[in-house]
């Protein structure tokens, strides 16, 4: 799947990240194209979230290059990377408990519009306000939670909160979304529905997803291609079916039954 061509999306080459002398990611190369769902899996401490932090600009790599749509991201701040089209969710949900679902999702669109100038949220032009409303309603509709729009986020179930978090990311209008364990806390049915939701979003909007996930059923149902990390190094890449059949991957991560890999592990 990896290509030397100029496909739209995220491209990582020779990434290395060190923390106080410890190498968390070593010589990692991967490609996550727009219009596809790419998985990034591996055991706890494998370097998955560190890779996301490097792509988002939250940590500075020791070596390597990260590009998005051919643009070198090395000199760009997290805000600039977001404006270039890269969005992000985190392992721990961060919703505004006292705000409504609608208000939480709307923040996903307001943030990129405001950029480095929060004052713009107060003096936004009417066109921007209309854009926020359209993006928010579209994201609520796509995630099937429009009926929750007026509910306070703090009273929702875990499954509903995950959908609000995802809708907020969708509302940002990003080309590439880095999703860090988005199915954590979901039951089996909710996980299947979430995998289907990812596929629908790709079909509708041609967005790309780079997905860190421990639930292998979500990986199997949603992903086009998978990269596997262990101790910060790439040990395998291929389709989900190939990953689950690989002795290397089974030994390092999956165990005897790939679909029984612990869900929600960190």
The mean predicted confidence, pLDDT, of the chain is: 89
pLDDT for the residue 125: 65
Give the closest residue to 83 by CA, choosing from 115, 124, 55, 110: 115
Give the closest residue to 202 by CA, choosing from 83, 41, 34: 34
What's the maximum distance between 2 C-alpha atoms anywhere in the chain? 57
166 by Cβ neighbours in 10 Å (0-12 / 13-18 / 19+) ranks as buried
pLDDT for the residue 260: 52
Give per-residue pLDDT as tens, 54-85: 999 999 999 999 999 999 999 999 999 999 99
* Domains of the chain, first to last: 1-85+176-266 (3.40.50.300), 94-173 (no CATH)
Give per-residue pLDDT as tens, 211-248: 999 999 999 999 999 999 999 999 999 999 999 999 99
Give per-residue pLDDT as tens, 145-166: 999 999 999 999 999 999 999 9
DSSP bridge pairs for 40: 212, 227
Residues 6+ apart with CB under 8 A from 221: 192, 195, 196, 199
pTM above 0.95, yes or no: no
């Amino acid at each position: 799947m990896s290509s030397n061509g100029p496909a739209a999306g995220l491209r990582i080459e020779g990434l290395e990240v060190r923390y106080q002398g410890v190498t968390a990611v070593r010589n990692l190369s991967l490609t996550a194209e727009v219009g596809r769902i790419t998985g990034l899996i591996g055991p706890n401490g494998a370097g998955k979230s560190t890779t996301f932090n490097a792509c988002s600009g939250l940590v500075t790599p020791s070596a390597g290059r990260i590009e998005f749509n051919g643009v070198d991201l090395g000199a760009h701040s997290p805000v600039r990377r977001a404006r270039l089209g890269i969005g992000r969710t985190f392992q721990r949900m961060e919703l505004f408990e006292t705000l409504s679902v609608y208000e939480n999702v709307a923040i996903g669109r307001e943030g990129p519009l405001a950029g480095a100038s929060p004052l713009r949220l107060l003096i936004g032009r009417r066109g921007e306000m209309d854009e926020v409303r359209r993006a928010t309603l579209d994201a609520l509709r796509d995630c099937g939670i429009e009926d929750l729009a007026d509910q306070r986020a703090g009273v929702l179930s875990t499954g509903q909160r995950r959908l609000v978090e995802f809708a907020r990311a969708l509302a940002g209008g990003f080309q590439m979304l880095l999703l860090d364990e988005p199915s954590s806390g979901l039951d089996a049915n909710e996980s299947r529905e979430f995998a289907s939701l990812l596929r629908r979003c790709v079909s509708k909007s041609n967005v790309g997803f780079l997905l860190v996930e421990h639930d292998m059923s979500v990986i199997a149902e949603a992903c086009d291609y998978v990269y596997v990390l262990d101790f910060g190094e790439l040990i395998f890449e291929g389709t989900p079916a190939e990953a689950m059949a690989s002795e290397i991957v089974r030994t390092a991560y999956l165990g005897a039954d790939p679909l029984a890999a612990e869900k929600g592990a960190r």
